[in-house]
Structure 1
Amino acid sequence: MRNATLKNSIYILVSCSAIAWLSLAYINDIDLSKLKDFMGLVPKVVSIDLLLIAVFAKWGWKLKVFRGWLVPFPNLNGTWLGYIYSSWTNPATGEKPPKIPVMLTIEQSFFRFSCKMRTTEMESISYSESFSIDTDRQIKNMSYSYSSRPRLSLSERSAIHDGTIVFNIIEGASKKLEGRYWTERLTKGEIVLNHHCNELMEDFPSNIEEHPVTEVENKR
């Protein structure tokens, strides 16, 4: 799948370059059979190619017409809402903490994406992201490693730590991310998110379920 996408990208770039060359030659009445005239158009053709690449990388890749054969990964831009289900067990009671409301914002372009996750007690930011897309093997995952920072008032009982999340991308009538996480504090669990909107929200929506600030949340 990856090789086919790369091959298609090269074909399109070569085709666009050829069209640009012929168009510029026609407009400026240039004889392309002369090497000097032919090479003289190189800077302009390269500029056109770079402009097309920039437009495609910023907006064009989101169009459904390119999905699959040219753009292997889905558009995940926006705000995702859901819950964290921690596998941590309170040693005093033997009980697991309640589900934790969480908000994930994803900012994505053709070349990269970044993730920011928030709960009532912490904020985590990704520093290494990747897609794993293979339709032949029915694999459609996105993953990232992150650094999690608790609120300053909670620093004494919740240290800064790193972790990794792997999401299974589910598309259809409603987009969903289902995944698992683990941290360097030897905690782990599951996360289920639904796509909420295309905007990058900076705070929880007013209608999301309120979750009390408790110590067990820091065991995520």
Structure 2
Amino acid sequence: MKRTIIIRVVVAVVVVVFVIGTWAQDGRPDLAALKFFSVAVLASTLVFNLWDFWLWRLPLIQRVPGVPRSIRGTWKGTLTSLWVDPATGNNPPPKTVYLVAQQTASLVTVKLLTDESKSTSALASVSEVDGSFLLTYLYLNRPDMRVEHRSRIHHGSTVFDVSGNPARRLKGRYWTDRDSKGELDFEERDKKNLADDFAEAAGLFGETT
């Protein structure tokens, strides 16, 4: 809905500028362009959607400066928590986790799936900084009910370095409002499928839960 409104506004501005330009040049406005407003909106919508959902991900287009790096798909990796258990004085062992990135040229949403919880991005972006691409996002983590007694709902943020073109690795860190932090490293990727939960993600990589 928001995309359609933006396209209509842009086309309307172009038409108005054209009419005012002909008015200033010929002394009377040329309203013929108004007849093509609906056609222009339709054509612009088609072109925008082609770009937003498909064209930008083509390998050749990915090399154009300013085009966001495609990270779309389900990634398998490792979460290493730096939290120290006060009872043992040790860090929890690393665990296998999955990151699901749903992405268009203008929008990216991220889910992090573990065997105990799901994190969903609130704000996310893939941006270029000094020639390198970063995936950054804020998230809300919802633990499974069975572990709520020791892992409460919390907010956090994550920053990944995106390596390779096409992207081959996501490596970064996370911080939470529970004063915990850790590292995340993803190197395996299924580009075609977007998993909904931990079990489905594990199945994409031939694992069982």
Using structure 2 for the length normalisation, give the TM-score. Answer: 0.76
- Trace 1:107-146 onto structure 2 (pairs within 5 A): 107-134=102-129, 137-146=130-139
For residues 196 and 160 of structure 1, what CA distance do their matches in structure 2 show?
28
Specify the alignment match of 1:23 in structure 2: none
Count of aligned residue pairs for this structure pair: 178
Q: Secondary structure at the match of 1:51?
A: helix
For residues 176 and 183 of structure 1, what CA distance do their matches in structure 2 show?
23
- The Cα of 1:39 is off from its aligned counterpart by 4.0
Query: 1:77-108: per-residue Cα shift (whole Å, max 9, x none)?
Result: 11100101111122233222211110111110
Are 1:40 and 2:29 matched, yes or no?
A: no
- The Cα of 1:165 is off from its aligned counterpart by 0.6
For residues 35 and 73 of structure 1, what CA distance do their matches in structure 2 show?
40
- The Cα of 1:51 is off from its aligned counterpart by 1.6
Task: Point out the more displaced range, 115-124 or 56-65.
Answer: 56-65
Question: Residue type matched to 2:78 in 1?
Answer: Y
Distance 1:88 1:208, change over 3 A: farther
Specify the alignment match of 1:65 in structure 2: 60
User: CA RMSD for the aligned pairs?
Assistant: 2.5
Identity of aligned residues (%): 28
Are 1:152 and 2:145 matched, yes or no?
A: yes
Specify the alignment match of 1:201 in structure 2: 195
Are 1:102 and 2:97 matched, yes or no?
A: yes
For residues 102 and 156 of structure 2, what CA distance do their matches in structure 1 show?
19
Q: Secondary structure at the match of 2:40?
A: helix
Q: Secondary structure at the match of 2:44?
A: helix
For residues 172 and 94 of structure 1, what CA distance do their matches in structure 2 show?
41
Are 1:77 and 2:109 matched, yes or no?
A: no
- The Cα of 1:62 is off from its aligned counterpart by 1.2
Specify the alignment match of 2:183 in structure 1: 190
Specify the alignment match of 1:179 in structure 2: 172
What 5-or-longer segments of structure 2 have no aligned partner? 1-9, 15-28
- The Cα of 1:172 is off from its aligned counterpart by 4.9
Question: Residue type matched to 2:171 in 1?
Answer: E
For residues 35 and 174 of structure 1, what CA distance do their matches in structure 2 show?
50
Question: Residue type matched to 1:37 in 2?
Answer: A
Q: Is contact 1:174-1:195 (8 Å) kept?
A: no
Q: Secondary structure at the match of 1:41?
A: helix
Are 1:50 and 2:67 matched, yes or no?
A: no
Using structure 1 for the length normalisation, give the TM-score. Answer: 0.72
Specify the alignment match of 1:26 in structure 2: none
Distance 1:54 1:172, change over 3 A: closer
Distance 1:49 1:38, change over 3 A: same
What 5-or-longer segments of structure 1 have no aligned partner? 1-12, 18-33, 211-220
For residues 128 and 154 of structure 2, what CA distance do their matches in structure 1 show?
28
For residues 209 and 140 of structure 1, what CA distance do their matches in structure 2 show?
33
For residues 93 and 188 of structure 2, what CA distance do their matches in structure 1 show?
22
Distance 1:70 1:168, change over 3 A: closer
